[in-house]
C-alpha cells in the first residue's frame, strides 16, 4: 500500500507539472514581437557598432511604423548589453529631423544645420561618441565636391 501511495503521489506531481506547463504556454502572450522584421529573418543584427545596430533596426522603416521599430529595439536591448533605448529614440528623432531639412545649395549652411541637429539629439557622451563621430563624418562629406 505504501508503494502505491508513493506512485500515486509521483503521478500527481508529474500531472500537475505537465498541466502547469501546458497552461503557461497557452496563456503566454502569443503576440510577442519578434526582434527582426520579416525581411530581416535570414540576417543577424549588425552589432559592429552602436550606429550599425541602430541602422539595422531602422532599415525596415519604410515598411514598419516607428513604434514597432522602437518595441523591437527595446526587446532586443533587454537581452543585450550596451544598448540604450533612450539613445535609440533620440537617434530616430535625429534621423527624422535630418529628413525635414530643406534642400539647399549652400553646403556650408547645410553642414551647420546637421551639426546643430547632432548637438541637439546626440549629446556628446562616451557611450555615443562613435555614433556622433560617424554622423559628423557623413555630414562633412556633403561639403566636398566629387
User: Helix crossing, 85-100 with 66-78: angle to 10°?
Assistant: 150
pLDDT at 85: 87
pLDDT at 12: 80
DSSP one-letter string for 2-50: HHHHHHHHHHHHHHHHHHHHHHHHHHS-TTPPPSS-GGGTTS----SSH
Closest CA to 83 of 55, 53, 126: 53
pLDDT at 138: 59
The x, y and z cell numbers of residue 130, run together, are 562613435
Phi-psi domain of 37 (left: phi exceeds 0; alpha: psi -120 through 50; beta: other): beta
pLDDT at 30: 41
Which burial class, exposed, middle or buried, applies to 57 when counting CB atoms under 10 A from its CB (0-12, 13-18, 19+)? buried
Q: Could you give the CA distance from residue 95 to residue 90 in angstroms, rounded to a whole number?
A: 9
pLDDT at 93: 93
**Between the CA atoms of 98, 104, 105 and 108, what dihedral angle is there, to the nearest 10 degrees?**
-50
Per-residue confidence of the chain (146 residues) as pLDDT tens digits?
Answer: 577 877 777 778 778 777 777 676 655 444 456 777 777 878 888 888 888 889 999 988 888 888 999 988 988 888 777 788 888 999 999 999 999 998 888 899 999 999 999 889 987 754 455 565 565 555 555 555 44
Q: What is the pTM of this model?
A: 0.61
pLDDT at 50: 85
pLDDT at 27: 53
Residues near 45 by beta carbon (within 8 Å), at least 6 away in sequence: 35, 36, 53, 56, 57, 76
Amino acid at each position: 500500500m505504501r508503494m502505491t501511495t508513493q506512485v500515486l503521489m509521483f503521478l500527481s506531481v508529474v500531472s500537475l507539472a505537465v498541466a502547469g506547463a501546458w497552461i503557461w504556454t497557452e496563456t503566454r502572450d502569443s503576440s510577442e514581437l519578434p526582434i527582426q522584421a520579416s525581411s530581416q529573418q535570414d540576417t543577424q543584427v549588425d552589432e559592429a557598432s552602436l550606429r550599425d545596430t541602430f541602422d539595422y533596426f531602422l532599415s525596415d522603416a519604410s515598411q514598419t511604423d516607428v513604434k514597432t521599430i522602437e518595441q523591437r529595439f527595446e526587446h532586443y536591448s533587454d537581452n543585450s548589453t550596451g544598448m540604450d533605448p533612450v539613445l535609440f529614440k533620440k537617434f530616430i528623432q535625429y534621423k527624422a529631423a535630418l529628413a525635414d531639412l530643406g534642400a539647399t545649395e549652400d553646403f556650408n549652411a547645410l553642414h551647420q544645420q546637421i551639426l546643430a541637429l547632432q548637438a541637439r539629439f546626440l549629446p556628446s557622451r562616451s557611450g555615443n561618441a562613435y555614433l556622433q563621430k560617424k554622423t559628423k563624418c557623413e555630414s562633412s562629406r556633403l561639403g566636398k565636391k566629387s
